[in-house]
Amino acid sequence: MRRSTLEEVAALAGVSKMTASRALRGSSDVAEETRRRVQQAAERLSYVGNRLALSLSSQRTNLVAVVVPSMSNTVFPEVLSGITTGLAGTGMQAVFGISDYDEVKEREIIRDMLSWQPSAIIVTGLDQPHDTVRMLKSAGIPVIQVMDLDGTPIDFNVGLSHGDAGRDMAVALLAAGRKKIAYVGSALDKDLRAGKRKAAFQRVLAAQSLSFVSEQLDDGFSSIALGKRLTAHMLAAKPEIDCIYYSNDDMAAGGLFACMEAGIIVPSQIVLAGFNGLDLTDSLPAPIATSKSPRRAMGEAAARLITDAMKDGEKSSGEAGPKTIVFKPPITGLKQGWT
């Protein structure tokens, strides 16, 4: 069953294509009677409308391209969810792409997305290679970089400083009296933001003439299972550790389960700290410290930035709102007095 076209609807309603178009889009100056006939015709034909033609003709797609590194880590779907929510009712629609933490794939996906002529594009992080940045710049649309602030944005920027997050957590753990701190992480070559947190954390330690008493790193992607395994290893080798900083909450939750199996009491014997503030962390049988990143809010903020930019574009007005939106993730799960 071939899809019916506007022309067919118009013919059935006995009007011109143009009138049919106006009627269906709810233009004001169409006779009520005409509108009804057109709508009935469209209904009868199950008319759907061809947005390729619409967008090509009108020169705007109302598409927002979004590129994230992964769908496996809950964090990114949550951001996407926020973006979708923020875009709801604006006529804009998000389209998602996954880069698999791969710069080359990311470039190809961005190119691909740009070929659909989106009205704006949201990408993860600030660490795109030069040629990707060049491509983004020459697209001539608002570019929003989300989730990270540590770097030089192309255009708009929404996120949090992972350097600050790592630093703050180190300060908080030291303030809680922890001295023998270890690190457990994974895929740091791919997850650059986790690397920034770790580096900042280490800088704080170094300032106190301290360093990680042990490190467990793995190439695989972060997961509860991996965090559990690496932690079990580490605890077996270095039982004197009194604190572990993890690349994120998944790993830290796994660490908690490893401690429980080893009969090590959290947090009195050992404090565990992650990053993200996954919902999970509020329900665990023992507290783990974490930085609560507002994923959904970041997504919504990015969406808002775009809708605002579109409005400003229309009015061709001068100033276009703030270019950077800063979030500060609070630390939870860490109480004083655990010395």
Footprint of a copy of itself (CB under 8 A): 1-3, 46, 48-56, 61, 70-72, 74, 76-78, 80-81, 84, 93, 95-96, 98, 111-112, 114-117, 134-135, 138-140, 223-225, 228, 253-254, 257, 260-261, 279-280, 282-285
**Contact between 112 and DNA per CB under 7 A:** no
Output the smallest distance, CB 55 to DNA, in A: 8
CA atoms of 176 and 159, how far apart (whole Å): 27
* Amino acid in position 273: A
Which one of a copy of itself, DNA, none is in contact with 58 (Cβ closer than 5 to 8 A by kind)?
DNA
The residues near 209 (Cβ < 8 Å, ≥ 6 apart) are none
Q: Round the CA-based radius of gyration of the chain to a whole number and report it.
A: 26
Output the smallest distance, CB 25 to a copy of itself, in A: 13
HSE-up (13 A, CA, CB side) for residue 224:
8
Output the smallest distance, CB 312 to DNA, in A: 19
CA atoms of 195 and 247, how far apart (whole Å): 8
**Contact between 93 and DNA per CB under 7 A:** no
CA atoms of 288 and 339, how far apart (whole Å): 15
Output the smallest distance, CB 296 to a copy of itself, in A: 9
CA atoms of 12 and 145, how far apart (whole Å): 48
Name which of 246, 57, 86, 284 is nearest 166 in CA terms.
Answer: 246
**Contact between 36 and DNA per CB under 7 A:** no
Contact pick of 31, 88, 175, 326 for DNA (by CB under 7 A): 31
Q: Which is nearer to DNA, 3 or 335 (CB)?
A: 3
Q: Which is nearer to DNA, 34 or 85 (CB)?
A: 34
